């Protein structure tokens, strides 16, 4: 939308809620960063036990650090009460609505036992309690020091990696660490704030094809029917993106795009259908995102069928899918591939801001649909998404899109429709406010600033403001340079905007009078610009020309800023319009609106 004015009346109130939140309460550790992890993992068909050595490489940024904590689920020796918020317990079995609840599955015997922690051949002191491993360093740190230590452990994970037969009866190993379940089989700082590169060396029966993040740097056949496969991810990624899949895959390669190898890893029984779809969809989607957002961060892009995955799981450089044998859905691929930019590369610094991942992927899949199928298909998708978001917001009017210091990570997307669909609508409405060119400029700036790093909602707001301010003066009005009027109302409060409107043409004054009122039952007032679409009668055909009557003529939309309880706009018109439409291009979607002639 062009030529909007900045809301100054509500600025003071909104600046209060725009101030940055503290973030979720996961205990951040300071004074060091993880330079990289290096894992060796032994998989076996004889049991579900994993044998792991985890080498942690640190760089110190402060003096006096004497130890660190790693998340690692410990062995359960006694039964515990079911607790969905505990990522170290076997999850409850889901049943369909109307079916009796499944009996609880015990976590006894699940978890990891640490056998040693060493550094340069020296045993280090450690304690394992409350699903955390505390390692005591050989000496207090100095700024610029480096330290490497290795943790050896073994056990059967409760969750975070599924070891089971797939639907064809083939045994497979599939990681699913989101959001905080990597700790079930990897000793890591299991939170997005501490991103790090990783290498994983997997020894498994040679019948398995093994895939993980990054580039395969080794594949060596060993004695006793085993094979060692090593994958190296050189880009820092969050632990919830650490991937591993081992199964008797059929692997197809689709060439490269901008030097990025593309491949499909499918069940042999579905290779013809699944690999064809992966090969057809992957490159066009990748090309669209690179052209519109920026460079792809990772060394490869692999599409992987994965046991136990519902829909898709956007692990960095290899995306896991579970879907019917009819083959992958293009829009699902577009959603999961969008995560490679938003969520994987530009990662939310806190689980409070998970919409920066899921809302973005939802909207960018719609943007790909717009690119591929046209505006009508895009608007149809936007409207369906918005309807879902509004239903949730109306049923849960106190639920904000951004969590407020989320303490239970298991509930990070409990407000699923709000995070995915509501987040997509925030981006769509922002595009309407800024205009498409400024929107894309802001997206590219945001990605370039936070590529392979972490960001908050406020970081995103500032990037959009800065991109608009950097545009030509005529292309960025004041309201786009300071979006503190926009983001708080859509991110930090619940519910939807509610307006009642009407229009009337006064023939005497030749004015179209438009009124939009915000209803009292919505709570606080919103500030949003609405387009007013006008259709004028067609020009009369010359007498005797035999020309058909032309359809009504649309005029460029006018803007009515709604910020008060009662809002009006007068538009001079030489004659009465045929019709007047509120928001004809569907830019303001999180609104209940009525608009009638009076």
Q: How confident is the model at residue 19 (pLDDT cuts 50, 70, 90)?
A: very low
Top pLDDT among 540 and 303 is at: 303
Residue 119 confidence (pLDDT): 98
Q: How confident is the model at residue 230 (pLDDT cuts 50, 70, 90)?
A: very high
Mean pLDDT calculated for residue range 242-251: 98
Per the prediction, the chain carries an average pLDDT of: 92
Q: How confident is the model at residue 3 (pLDDT cuts 50, 70, 90)?
A: very low
> Of 56-65, 267-276, 322-331, 416-425, where does mean pLDDT reach its minimum?
322-331
Residue 57 confidence (pLDDT): 98
What is the 3-state secondary structure of 55-108? EEEEEECCCCCCEEEEECCECCCCCCCCCCCCCCCCCCCCCCCCCCCCCCCCCC
Question: Cis before residue 447, ω within 30 degrees of 0?
Answer: no
Concatenating the DSSP letter of every residue in 161-190 gives: EEEEE-TTS-EEEEE--TTTTGGGTS-B--
37 pLDDT exceeds 60? yes
Residue 474 confidence (pLDDT): 76
* pLDDT tens sequence across 154-177: 999 999 999 999 999 999 999 999
Q: How confident is the model at residue 102 (pLDDT cuts 50, 70, 90)?
A: confident
Residue 13 confidence (pLDDT): 30
Q: How confident is the model at residue 525 (pLDDT cuts 50, 70, 90)?
A: very high
Mean pLDDT calculated for residue range 448-471: 97
Q: How confident is the model at residue 541 (pLDDT cuts 50, 70, 90)?
A: low
Residue 178 confidence (pLDDT): 97
| Domains defined along the chain, listed by start | 30-247 (2.60.40.1730), 249-340 (3.30.2010.30), 351-491 (1.10.390.10), 497-540+548-597 (2.60.40.1840)
268 pLDDT exceeds 70? yes
> Of 179-193, 497-511, 552-566, where does mean pLDDT reach its minimum?
552-566
Closest CA to 359 of 320, 416, 410: 416
Residue ranges in 239-354 assigned as alpha helix (H): 271-292, 330-338
Phi, psi of 387 (to 5 degrees): -60, -40
Residue ranges in 339-435 assigned as alpha helix (H): 355-373, 375-395, 416-417, 423-434
d(CA 114, CA 518): 61
Closest CA to 22 of 336, 329, 270, 352: 352
482 pLDDT exceeds 90? yes
* pLDDT tens sequence across 312-330: 999 999 999 997 667 789 9
3-class DSSP state for residue 275?
helix
Percent of the chain with pLDDT over 70: 93
24 pLDDT exceeds 80? yes
Top pLDDT among 242 and 23 is at: 242
d(CA 224, CA 475): 68
Mean pLDDT calculated for residue range 466-486: 90
């Amino acid at each position: 939308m062009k030529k909007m004015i900045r809301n100054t009346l509500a600025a003071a109130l909104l600046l209060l809620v725009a101030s940055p939140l503290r973030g979720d309460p996961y205990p951040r550790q300071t004074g060091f960063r993880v330079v990289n992890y290096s894992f060796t993992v032994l998989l076996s068909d004889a049991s579900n036990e994993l044998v792991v050595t985890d080498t942690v490489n640190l760089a110190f940024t402060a003096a006096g650090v004497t130890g660190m904590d790693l998340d690692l689920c410990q062995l359960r020796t006694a039964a515990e009460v079911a607790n969905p918020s505990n990522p170290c317990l076997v999850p409850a079995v889901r049943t369909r609505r109307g079916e009796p609840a499944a009996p609880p599955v015990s976590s006894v015997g699940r978890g990891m036992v640490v056998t040693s922690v060493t550094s340069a051949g020296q045993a280090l002191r450690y304690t394992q309690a409350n699903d955390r491993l505390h390692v005591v360093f050989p000496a207090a740190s100095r700024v610029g020091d480096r330290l490497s230590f290795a943790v050896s452990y073994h056990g059967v994970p409760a969750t975070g990696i599924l070891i089971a037969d797939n639907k064809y009866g083939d045994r497979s190993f599939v990681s699913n660490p989101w959001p905080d379940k990597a700790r079930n089989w990897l000793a890591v700082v299991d939170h997005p704030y501490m991103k790090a590169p990783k290498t994983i060396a997997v020894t498994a029966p040679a019948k398995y094809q093994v895939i993980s993040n990054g580039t395969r740097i080794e594949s060596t056949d060993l004695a006793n029917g085993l094979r060692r496969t090593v994958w190296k991810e050189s880009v820092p990624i969050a632990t919830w993106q650490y991937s591993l899949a081992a199964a008797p895959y059929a692997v197809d390669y689709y060439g490269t795009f901008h030097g990025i190898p593309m491949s499909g890893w499918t069940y042999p029984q579905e290779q013809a259908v699944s690999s064809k779809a992966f090969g057809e969809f992957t490159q066009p989607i990748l090309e669209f995102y690179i052209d519109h957002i920026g460079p792809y961060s990772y060394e490869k892009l692999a599409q992987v069928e994965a046991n136990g995955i519902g829909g898709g799981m956007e692990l960095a450089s290899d995306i896991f899918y579970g879907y019917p044998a009819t083959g992958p859905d293009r829009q699902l691929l577009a959603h999961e591939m969008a995560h490679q930019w938003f969520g994987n590369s530009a990662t939310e610094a806190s689980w409070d801001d998970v919409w920066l991942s899921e809302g973005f992927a939802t909207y960018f899949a719609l943007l790909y649909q717009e690119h591929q199928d046209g505006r009508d298909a895009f608007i149809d998708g936007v409207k369906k998404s918005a309807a879902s978001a509004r239903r949730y917001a109306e049923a849960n009017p106190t639920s904000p899109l951004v969590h407020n210091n989320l303490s239970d990570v298991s509930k990070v997307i409990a407000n699923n429709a709000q995070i995915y669909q509501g987040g997509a609508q925030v981006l769509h409405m922002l595009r309407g406010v800024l205009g498409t060119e400024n929107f894309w400029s802001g997206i590219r700036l945001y990605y370039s600033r936070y590529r392979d790093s972490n960001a908050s909602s406020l970081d995103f707001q500032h990037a959009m403001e800065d991109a608009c301010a950097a545009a030509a003066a005529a292309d960025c009005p004041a309201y786009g340079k300071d979006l503190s009027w926009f983001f708080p109302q859509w991110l930090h409060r619940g519910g939807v905007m509610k307006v009642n409107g009407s229009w009337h043409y006064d023939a005497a004054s030749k004015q179209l009078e438009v009124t939009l009122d915000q209803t009292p039952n919505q709570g606080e007032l919103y500030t949003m610009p609405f387009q007013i679409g006008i259709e004028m009668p067609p020009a009369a055909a010359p007498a005797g020309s035999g020309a058909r009557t032309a359809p009504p003529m649309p005029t460029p939309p006018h803007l009515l800023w709604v910020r008060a309880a009662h809002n009006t706009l007068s538009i001079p018109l030489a004659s009465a319009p045929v019709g007047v439409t509120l928001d004809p291009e569907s830019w303001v979607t999180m609104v209940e609106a009525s608009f009638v002639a009076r």
